[in-house]
Amino acid sequence: MEKFQWQIAQVKAITQETPRVKTFTLQLPQWIPHVTGQHYDLRLTAEDGYQAERSYSIASPPEQTGEIDLTVELIDDGEVSSYLHEGISVGDPLEVRGPIGGYFVWKDNMANIPLLLIAGGSGVVPLMAMLRHRAKIGAKNPTVLLFSVRTAEETIYHQELRQLADQDAQFTLLLTYTRQPPPEWSGYQRRIDRPMLTDVLKSFTSQPISFVCGPTLLVEQVANTLVDLDIPTDKIRTERFGPTGA
């Protein structure tokens, strides 16, 4: 059993991914290799002892030793994300513990199985760790990322995803823009729906394992539709965040 001990990491770099999303590269005194899809808990402490904790998915692959990347979206009224975005600079200490999580993970024994990754917004973060790790180990399994974003400007890891797709014939990047597609866009421009998932599943010659991460409503709809399309429930792993909208 891994020990989930709190440790004080140091912020090594901060990358602005989109106007509302930053990646914090943390150097850890006790770094443990993670499985992609896992998260860290992050705890902020005020001078009077008040504490607030949140969980953030790891974006980096385990090949990036000694440090982790946590990609954090600024949430309106979010006391942790707003402090991270506005109050943290390179060199600052941050208290974290992890890696945590044992189900929403892409294990190395899955490297030969076709992989379908589906993300909405910042739900792409744990899937990015999987894609980065997959590239590092040179896996050749057919892989698709279906990524629902509002606009090109709000697309996290846009450049890197395109490069990965250009370099790897087995990896397909499918973006769908729900608000404003870029000029001359000929791809999807609607919310993920049944015809879209039907198309994507047709591109696989054998049944993929699916990881779906994003806002609750998107995950509910995608997971339900995959079940309708005869994907067994044990091949669909989900991680939901945010309100239900209900």
Partner 1 sequence: MASFFNKGFGRKRESASSERIPPGQYETHDFPVLTAGPTPRIPLTSWTFVIDGLVKTPMQWTWEQFNALPQTSFMNDIHCVTKWSKLDTHWTGVSIDTLLEHINPSPEARYVMAHSYGDYTTNIPLDDLRNGKAFIGLNFEGKPLAPEHGGPARLVVPHLYFWKSAKWIKGLRFMETDKPGFWEQGGYSMYGDPWKEQRYRTDD
Contacting positions for partner 1 (CB under 8 A): 1-5, 8, 41, 43-55, 77, 79, 82-83, 87, 92-95, 100-104, 216, 219-220, 223-224, 226-227, 233-234, 236-238, 240-244, 246
Nearest CA-CA partner of 118 in 149, 163, 142:
149
The sheet that has 67-73: what strands, in order across it? 51-57, 39-45, 93-100, 7-18, 21-27, 67-73
What does the angle CA 200 – CA 204 – CA 206 come to, to the nearest 5 degrees? Answer: 140
- Closer of 184 and 234 to partner 1 (Cβ): 234
- Closer of 46 and 169 to partner 1 (Cβ): 46
DSSP 126-156: HHHHHHHHHHHHT--S-EEEEEEEEESTT-T
Question: Amino acid identity of 236?
Answer: I
- Closer of 161 and 226 to partner 1 (Cβ): 226
What does the angle CA 35 – CA 83 – CA 243 come to, to the nearest 5 degrees? Answer: 65
Cβ at position 180, least distance to partner 1 in Å: 27
- Closer of 93 and 187 to partner 1 (Cβ): 93
Do the beta carbons of residue 111 and residue 105 sit within 8 Å?
A: no
Cβ at position 88, least distance to partner 1 in Å: 8
Cβ at position 78, least distance to partner 1 in Å: 9
Cβ at position 221, least distance to partner 1 in Å: 10
Task: Give the DSSP H or E segment for 118.
Answer: strand 115-120
Cβ at position 28, least distance to partner 1 in Å: 15
- Closer of 43 and 158 to partner 1 (Cβ): 43
